[in-house]
A and B are shown apart, each in its own frame.
Chain A
Amino acid sequence: MREIRWYYPENLKQLPDLLKREGVIPHGGGTGILRGSLNHIEGLIDLGNLQLRYVRYRNGKIEVGAGTTYADLIEHLSGTDPDHILVKALKAAASTPLRNRITVGGSAAFFPVWSDLMGPLLALDAEVTLTGEKGGSYSLSDYTKNGELRKMSLITSVQWKNKSWTSFYHRESRTKVDYPVFSISILLKVRKDTIEDIKIIIVGTARRFTQCLQIEESLKSLTLDQARIEGIGSKLDVQFTGRRNFSAEYLKHCVGIQLERGLKAILRS
């Protein structure tokens, strides 16, 4: 039993004050909070009344409120772009009842190694908008690296440029309903048979995630016929730590195979 204070703010202006309090943190879906120890938590800020559950289109961007759940986002994007990488990724995340609960904001802040959200968002060059001490917009990639940004601030939305990409998503897991040991997100833009842009993010590596810059560079501006995929996997420079049922060596081998398969599939389509 732990006495936790609950706060139910109704507008964003109340947040900075609340966030300054010792041991008081935001509560999105609560699935990450409940997993850990509650020992250091004095208070929880329920984000439910802040109208942060939305997906909207603004200035050529898709903006997703922090309180949007995985299920909300899947449902929304399936309507407009059923092949969207986030639809593929989030559909397989966790389980149906958990997807109804897990929020985009909580997941971006928590960023577990098994995240199905972060690979696609990083590949999309998403930004986060914060409120509180560090109010403003930052690239998601900076946010993940800079612990300072998290202090006394919370994510109100995540947004990315609304461009159309061809996408591939693979998650490697034991059974189908499982944390992925790694995931591969690939986004591709082709113009007149030439690779104009490509993004490859692997989540679950020793450094949590890895962007495959070299491979991206080596493929850019090649025509589809020129692109040689064979052998890319074995040259891939990523490190893993061993996980339950999977050694580091196997994961490295496996990610190479799946990356080649992904690239072949995406270039074919």
Chain B
Amino acid sequence: MAEYIHVGKSVTKIDSLGLAAGMEKFTDDFPTEDTLHCAILYSPHAHADIMDLDTKAALEMEGVVDVLHFKNVSRVLHTTAGQGYPEPSPYDTVLFDRKVRFIGDRIALVAAESREIAVEALKKISVEYKVLEPLFDIEKAMNPSAPRIHGDEEHVEIPVAYRPEVNLAAEVEIAFGDLEEGFSEADFTEEHTYTMQAASHCAIEPHAALAFFDARGRLVIITTTQVPFHVRRIVSRVLDIPLHSIRVIKPRIGGGFGGKQEVILEPLVALVAWRNKRASRIVLSRREVFVSSRTRHAMRIRLKTGAREDGSITALEMDALMNAGAYGTHALTVLSNTGSKVLPLFNKIDHLTFTGKSVYTNLPIGGAYRGYGATQGYFAFNQQIDMIARRAGQDLLEYCKRWHIQEGETSDVFRALGEGKKGVSQTIKSCRLSECIDRGAAAIDWYEKRGKQLKSGNDRVKGMGLAIAMQGSGIPQVDMASASMKMNDDGSFNLLIGATDIGTGSDTILAQIAAEVLCIPMEKIIVLSSDTDTTPFDTGAYASSTTYISGSAVEKCARNIKARIITAASQILGLEEEDLSLDMEKVTAPKSGQQVTYEQIALSTLYSRDQLQIQAQASYVSQESPPPFIAQFAEVDVDEKTGRIYVVKFISAVDCGQPINPVLVEGQVEGAVVNGISYALWEDYIYNSSGKMLNPRFWDYKIYTALDLPEMKTIVVGSFEETHPFGAKSVAEIAINGPAPAIANAVYDAVGVRMFDTPFTPEKVWRKMRS
């Protein structure tokens, strides 16, 4: 492997000092003049028609400037999913509808001189409802006699199954071989149903957006988004504002995790600004984020496997029922991922089916969430293989190592299942999962503790659990990223990228890649990202794509720059291009010893001879989506009398290809693991019988604090992915998949009960142990 100067080094994040000093700006930190503040009226009913709505009293209040609702806003069907065009999610949303579909659905928006006035004015809007029967249960919602949540106009822009008449937002089906034959070859079968609950991303920065006009009358939107280019496109379409009149800027973002891959607030502030020709602003409260932004999809998975005595799996049948909530944003693709990111992992199963349905209900809206359906799939899959290995009397670690997909192998699932269309077939070029398993096991002393039920004080019993997973790196043949660069007088470079740093450090990683190719110190790369006016296109921060796809675009762009520098140097030095190579900030001719610095090249090309701006651009679309791999180990103590689970230690060993920045890799894994553990143990949407969320507050929706941490360790198992210029794969999502199943497997190891539904509250574990 090559010696790198920046790649593989834990360069500090370029924005971190400004953030630590409180100087970097987030959306709501930007001042705007003469601003209208917006507040939203939400539905108190889970399912109702709006018969009438009266805003007179609100409009009469001093300080109220505008009220938006279904009567004065045109009804343009769209999806809020920030996906590429045409989106695979159904067009089932309008800004304001005559119908409300969950408690928290929006009804009207007040724009006023202050936020307080806007909030007061909401109380003055009177709405007349005809309450309809609400649907919360996915089975009931699919019943042909159930009321319909969506109408006939709703549709998907691409040819996929969409049946709103039976409340189906999406369906998926793939099959290989012959299940019946497969099960008949089996010596034993396991069939279980697993459920996972909805969850909030809990980015500490709530969603916010502001819109204002620049001096040329163009509309500028600053917003908490993972997808600035999709925001521009969708806002333009929904509001019928010419795209060229809109500029979207993504400032610092306080965490996304998928929650900000949604175009929710931008059309609203844009519309208020456009109608009133004034700046407008909205910041959601935490309660609004919980109820009215997006959640992880609750899912129920039935998994049936047939296996021979030696544990080899002869047939697998997975059926996923996903609760889409009131709108179908990401309903198809999250569901597909439950199969497509999970099933290729054990690629030697001849008889296999995956079926799934995404069901509309009158509950908060599901959406993209780190893990994106794979989390739910792996919860089922990993418990099932733990059971099979146990029944077959196999050592779990050896079992996993024997059956997981290997380098040079493929899976039919890759080809069969894509994002709203067929997938892309691919062969695995890098996989160090077996090494991940070995190193993780050694770090946690697996064999000393697994199956031993070691006891400690206060009735605690120890258990050990493993979960393995893969994910993807971007969406192949769909996601496009681009970059452009130009050279400055002193030999520094501006790097302009559409890629969206939402706290992940992508600005830094992409600068590392550019600095590596150009052989310059980090500070000579000046990064500007995610501004639709100045940076080139990028699909955005989702699908674990930035390092792999945007990184490849940046590498290509930097190589183009390098070629131009060499050309210029060859003219200056009067030498052949082949005789020149890059050294730190200069071009040298190793044979003659001649050299010219970047600064000299820049000055010469800008001011003296054959003048031109050294600049380049590049775009990149990937042909494949190489999966990263992970093995995650949980050591838990279970209180035999109260059922409380104490996660004592958690180890993740990850193969993400060449880590571009190891500390950032660890940070991604640690963040995902802690989120995964608190989701497995506590996080939950608790509803009353009317479908109202009862705990939309941090004090009542428990996420982990520093005090709750287990001992944690991340092992970065390097590999080299040959389809990436520096051998990198993704790492942002994968680590959230393991905590729930690893803990569940550890609980079984400790006390012999199987936890089929998250969260594993002490009471649930206690009830299981009692029965």
Q: Which residue of B lies closest to A1 (CB)?
A: B116
- CB contacts under 8 Å to A, within B668-708, are 678, 682, 684, 686, 694-695, 699-700, 702-705, 707-708
In the complex, the answer to whether A245 meets B708 with C-beta atoms within 8 Å is no
In the complex, the answer to whether B707 meets A176 with C-beta atoms within 8 Å is yes
Per-position 1/0 for B64-89, Cβ under 8 A of A: 00000000000000000000000000
In the complex, the answer to whether B699 meets A245 with C-beta atoms within 8 Å is no
Residues of the B chain whose Cβ atoms lie less than 8 Å from the Cβ of A178: 699, 702
Total count of chain B residues near the partner, CB < 8 A: 24
Residues of the B chain whose Cβ atoms lie less than 8 Å from the Cβ of A257: 641-642
Distance A162 CA – B682 CA, assembled complex (angstroms):
41
Q: Cβ of B52 < 8 Å from any Cβ of A?
A: no
Q: Cβ of A177 < 8 Å from any Cβ of B?
A: yes
- CB contacts under 8 Å to A, within B717-771, are 761-763, 766-767
Q: Cβ of A110 < 8 Å from any Cβ of B?
A: no
Instruction: Report A254 CB to chain B, min CB distance, Å.
Output: 5
In the complex, the answer to whether B704 meets A175 with C-beta atoms within 8 Å is yes
Instruction: Report A257 CB to chain B, min CB distance, Å.
Output: 5
In the complex, the answer to whether A244 meets B695 with C-beta atoms within 8 Å is yes
In the complex, the answer to whether B705 meets A175 with C-beta atoms within 8 Å is yes
Distance A250 CA – B644 CA, assembled complex (angstroms):
12
Residues of the A chain whose Cβ atoms lie less than 8 Å from the Cβ of B705: 175-177
Distance A246 CA – B767 CA, assembled complex (angstroms):
12
Q: Which residue of A lies closest to B639 (CB)?
A: A257
Per-position 1/0 for B624-667, Cβ under 8 A of A: 00000000000000000110000000000000000000000000
Instruction: Report A248 CB to chain B, min CB distance, Å.
Output: 11
Q: Cβ of B145 < 8 Å from any Cβ of A?
A: no
Q: Contacting B763 at CB < 8 Å: which of A177, A245, A258?
A: A245
Instruction: Report A31 CB to chain B, min CB distance, Å.
Output: 12
Residues of the A chain whose Cβ atoms lie less than 8 Å from the Cβ of B116: 1
Q: Cβ of A174 < 8 Å from any Cβ of B?
A: yes
Q: Cβ of B458 < 8 Å from any Cβ of A?
A: yes
Residues of the A chain whose Cβ atoms lie less than 8 Å from the Cβ of B686: 244-245
Instruction: Report B62 CB to chain A, min CB distance, Å.
Output: 12
Instruction: Report B759 CB to chain A, min CB distance, Å.
Output: 8
Residues of the B chain whose Cβ atoms lie less than 8 Å from the Cβ of A175: 678, 682, 702-705, 707-708
Q: Cβ of A164 < 8 Å from any Cβ of B?
A: no
In the complex, the answer to whether B766 meets A250 with C-beta atoms within 8 Å is yes
Q: Cβ of A261 < 8 Å from any Cβ of B?
A: yes
In the complex, the answer to whether B702 meets A247 with C-beta atoms within 8 Å is no
Distance A66 CA – B359 CA, assembled complex (angstroms):
56
In the complex, the answer to whether A245 meets B678 with C-beta atoms within 8 Å is no
In the complex, the answer to whether B704 meets A179 with C-beta atoms within 8 Å is no
Q: Cβ of A61 < 8 Å from any Cβ of B?
A: no
Q: Cβ of A20 < 8 Å from any Cβ of B?
A: no
Distance A257 CA – B703 CA, assembled complex (angstroms):
26
Residues of the B chain whose Cβ atoms lie less than 8 Å from the Cβ of A250: 762-763, 766-767
Q: Which residue of B lies closest to A246 (CB)?
A: B763
Q: Cβ of A253 < 8 Å from any Cβ of B?
A: yes
Distance A250 CA – B695 CA, assembled complex (angstroms):
20
Distance A244 CA – B766 CA, assembled complex (angstroms):
16
Residues of the A chain whose Cβ atoms lie less than 8 Å from the Cβ of B703: 175
Distance A22 CA – B28 CA, assembled complex (angstroms):
39
Q: Which residue of B lies closest to A233 (CB)?
A: B641
In the complex, the answer to whether B642 meets A174 with C-beta atoms within 8 Å is no
Instruction: Report A268 CB to chain B, min CB distance, Å.
Output: 12
Residues of the B chain whose Cβ atoms lie less than 8 Å from the Cβ of A258: 642
Distance A25 CA – B686 CA, assembled complex (angstroms):
35
Per-position 1/0 for A213-227, Cβ under 8 A of B: 000000000000000
Residues of the A chain whose Cβ atoms lie less than 8 Å from the Cβ of B682: 174-175, 245
Distance A144 CA – B458 CA, assembled complex (angstroms):
34
Residues of the A chain whose Cβ atoms lie less than 8 Å from the Cβ of B761: 174, 245-246
Instruction: Report A18 CB to chain B, min CB distance, Å.
Output: 27
Distance A1 CA – B678 CA, assembled complex (angstroms):
37
Q: Which residue of B lies closest to A251 (CB)?
A: B763
Q: Contacting B708 at CB < 8 Å: which of A176, A246, A261?
A: A176
Residues of the B chain whose Cβ atoms lie less than 8 Å from the Cβ of A261: 458
Distance A113 CA – B707 CA, assembled complex (angstroms):
23
Contact (A247, B763) CB under 8 Å given A175-B682, A178-B702, A179-B699? yes
Residues of the A chain whose Cβ atoms lie less than 8 Å from the Cβ of B458: 261
Residues of the A chain whose Cβ atoms lie less than 8 Å from the Cβ of B708: 175-177
- CB contacts under 8 Å to B, within A227-269, are 244-247, 250, 253-254, 257-258, 261
Q: Which residue of B lies closest to A247 (CB)?
A: B763
Residues of the A chain whose Cβ atoms lie less than 8 Å from the Cβ of B762: 250, 254
- CB contacts under 8 Å to A, within B114-132, are 116, 120
Per-position 1/0 for A119-135, Cβ under 8 A of B: 00000000000000000
Instruction: Report A241 CB to chain B, min CB distance, Å.
Output: 15
Distance A247 CA – B120 CA, assembled complex (angstroms):
38
Distance A257 CA – B458 CA, assembled complex (angstroms):
10
Q: Which residue of B lies closest to A264 (CB)?
A: B458
Residues of the A chain whose Cβ atoms lie less than 8 Å from the Cβ of B704: 175
Q: Which residue of B lies closest to A261 (CB)?
A: B458
Residues of the A chain whose Cβ atoms lie less than 8 Å from the Cβ of B695: 244
Distance A261 CA – B642 CA, assembled complex (angstroms):
12
Residues of the B chain whose Cβ atoms lie less than 8 Å from the Cβ of A254: 642, 762
Distance A220 CA – B642 CA, assembled complex (angstroms):
28
Q: Which residue of A lies closest to B766 (CB)?
A: A250
Q: Which residue of B lies closest to A258 (CB)?
A: B642
Instruction: Report A16 CB to chain B, min CB distance, Å.
Output: 34
Instruction: Report A136 CB to chain B, min CB distance, Å.
Output: 36
Distance A246 CA – B763 CA, assembled complex (angstroms):
7
Distance A132 CA – B700 CA, assembled complex (angstroms):
37
Per-position 1/0 for B22-33, Cβ under 8 A of A: 000000000000
Residues of the B chain whose Cβ atoms lie less than 8 Å from the Cβ of A176: 705, 707-708
Residues of the B chain whose Cβ atoms lie less than 8 Å from the Cβ of A253: 642, 766
Distance A253 CA – B643 CA, assembled complex (angstroms):
11
Instruction: Report B512 CB to chain A, min CB distance, Å.
Output: 36
Distance A254 CA – B639 CA, assembled complex (angstroms):
11
Q: Which residue of A lies closest to B700 (CB)?
A: A244
Per-position 1/0 for A1-12, Cβ under 8 A of B: 100000000000
Residues of the A chain whose Cβ atoms lie less than 8 Å from the Cβ of B763: 245-247, 250
Q: Which residue of B lies closest to A179 (CB)?
A: B699
Per-position 1/0 for B704-718, Cβ under 8 A of A: 110110000000000
Per-position 1/0 for B590-614, Cβ under 8 A of A: 0000000000000000000000000
Q: Which residue of B lies closest to A174 (CB)?
A: B702
Instruction: Report B374 CB to chain A, min CB distance, Å.
Output: 25
Instruction: Report B748 CB to chain A, min CB distance, Å.
Output: 21
Distance A49 CA – B703 CA, assembled complex (angstroms):
38
15 A-B pairs besides A175-B703, A178-B699 with CB distance below 8 A are A174-B682, A175-B707, A176-B708, A177-B707, A177-B708, A244-B686, A244-B695, A245-B682, A247-B763, A250-B762, A250-B763, A250-B766, A254-B642, A257-B641, A261-B458
**10 tightest A-B CB contacts, nearest first:** A176-B707, A250-B763, A175-B702, A174-B702, A177-B705, A257-B641, A1-B116, A175-B708, A176-B708, A245-B761
Residue positions of A touching B, CB distance < 8 A:
1, 174-179, 244-247, 250, 253-254, 257-258, 261
- What are 30 A-B pairs with beta-carbon distances under 8 A? A1-B120, A174-B682, A174-B702, A175-B678, A175-B702, A175-B704, A175-B705, A176-B707, A177-B705, A178-B699, A179-B699, A244-B694, A244-B695, A244-B700, A245-B682, A245-B684, A245-B686, A245-B763, A246-B763, A247-B763, A250-B762, A250-B766, A250-B767, A253-B642, A253-B766, A254-B762, A257-B641, A257-B642, A258-B642, A261-B458
